[in-house]
Amino acid sequence: MIVVNCPHCGPRNSSDLRPCGEVTSRPDPATASLSEWRTYLYMRENPSGWVTEAWYCRSGCRRYFTIERNTATNETRRSEAS
């Protein structure tokens, strides 16, 4: 059970939150080509190392925010409200 630092609530057990995966940038749905859109939907960097990811503070403040987490060690740093 890792600890995730919510920028509003402080450190929380990860079971109180929902991981939303690595942060990707959503193209404009009105203009995106299908292949751009699917790249956004499906393709992931999936690095072993530092990654910026989104979390939802489900049992706490109900805010979405981002943190950086090292997927090789599960260390975390810098959390930011979105």
Partner 1 sequence: MTHNRLPVRPGEVIDRETSLAFTWNGRPHTGLRGDTIASALAADGVEVFARSMKYKRRRGIMTADHWDPNLSVQVGDEPNVRAGSRRLVAGMEVSAQNVWPSLKFDIGAANQLVGRFLSPGFYYKTFMRPKWLWHHLYQTILRRFAPGGRIHWETSTHGAYDKRYAHPDVLVAGGGPAGMGAAIAAAEAGASVMLVEHEPELGGHLRWGDAEDLTALADLLAAVQSHPGIEVLVDSTVTGRYDHNWIAVMQRSHEVAPERLIKARAGSLVVAPGLIERPYVFAGNDTPGVMLSGAVRRLINLWAVKPGSRAVVLSANPEGDAAIADLEAAGVEIVAALDARVGEDIVEVEGRGRVRRAVLGDGRTVAADLVVLGTGWTAPTSLLNMAGDRPVYDPTAARYFPNQLPDNVLATGGITGNGSTVELVAHGSATGTLAANRALRNRHERRSSTARARSPEGPMPESLQDTRVPLARTPHPECYRSSSHGMVDFSEDVSSKDLFQASGEGFDSIELMKRYTTATMGPSQGKLETVNAAAVLAEARSMDMVDIGTTVWRPPFAPISLGALAGRIFEPIRRSALQDWHEAHGASPLLAGQWVRPDHYGDPVGEARNVRENVGIIDVTPLGKLDLRGPDVAKLLELVYVNRWQKLEIGRVRYGTMVAEDGVVSDDGVTGRLGEDHYLMTTTSSGAGAVWEMLEDYLQTYRPEWNVHVTAVTGGLTSINVAGPRCRDLLLRLVEDVDLSPEAFPYFHVRRGRVAGVSGCIIWRIGFTGELSYELHVPSGHALHVWESLIANGEDLGIRPFGVESQRILRLEKGHYIVGQDTDGLTKAPSAGLGGLVKLDKHDTLGLPELRASYARTDLPVLVAIQTDDPEIVPMEADQIVDGDSNRILGRITSSRMSPTLGRSVCLGQVDPSLAAAGSKVTILLVNGHRVSGTVQEHHAHVDPEGVRQNA
Partner 2 sequence: MPDIEFKSPIAHGPVSAPDGSVSLEDETSTTKVVVRAATGTAAAADLGVPYGQSRLRADGTLVCGTRPGEWTLFAAAGRATEVAASVDTDGFVNVVDVTHGRAMMRVSGPKATAMLAKVCDIDLTDDMAPDGAVFSGSVAKVTCDLLRSDWRGEVSYLISCERSFGNYLFATLADASTEFGAELPTGLDIH
Partner 3 sequence: MARHGYTYSAGKLIKHGLTRGDWPRMWRRPEARSSYDVVIVGGGLHGLATAYYLAADHGMTNIAVLDKGYLGGGGSGRNTAIVRSNYLTPEGVAFYDRSLALYNSMTQELNLNVMFSRRGHLTLAHTDSALRTMHWRAEVNKLQGIDSSVIDPQEVKKEAPSLDISADTRYPILGALFHPPGGIVRHDAVVWGYARAADHLGVHMLQETEVLDILCEGGEGPDGKGTGGRVTGVRTNRGDISAPAVVNCTAGWASLISNMAGVPLPITTHPLQAAVTEPCKVFLPTVVVSGSLHVYVSQTDRGELVFGASVDPVGTYRVNGTLEFTEELAGHVLELMPGISKMRLMRQWSGLCDMTPDYSPVMGTTQVDGYFVDVGWGTYGFKAGPVAGETMAETIATGRDADLIAPFTINRFTEGDLVGEKGAAAVGH
Shortest separation between residue 22's beta carbon and partner 2, angstroms:
25
Residues in the chain: 82
Euclidean distance between CA atoms 71 and 38, whole angstroms: 24
Per CB under 8 A, 59 contacts partner 1: no
Site for partner 3 in 16-75 (CB under 8 A): 18-19, 21-22, 34-35, 38-39, 41-48, 71-74
* Site pattern 56..75 for partner 2 (x: CB under 8 A): --xxxxxx------------
Does position 54 interact with Zn ion (CB under 5 A)? The reply is no
Q: Is 55 exposed, middle or buried (0-12, 13-18, 19+ CB in 10 A)?
A: buried
Residue 79 has which token pair? 């959390």
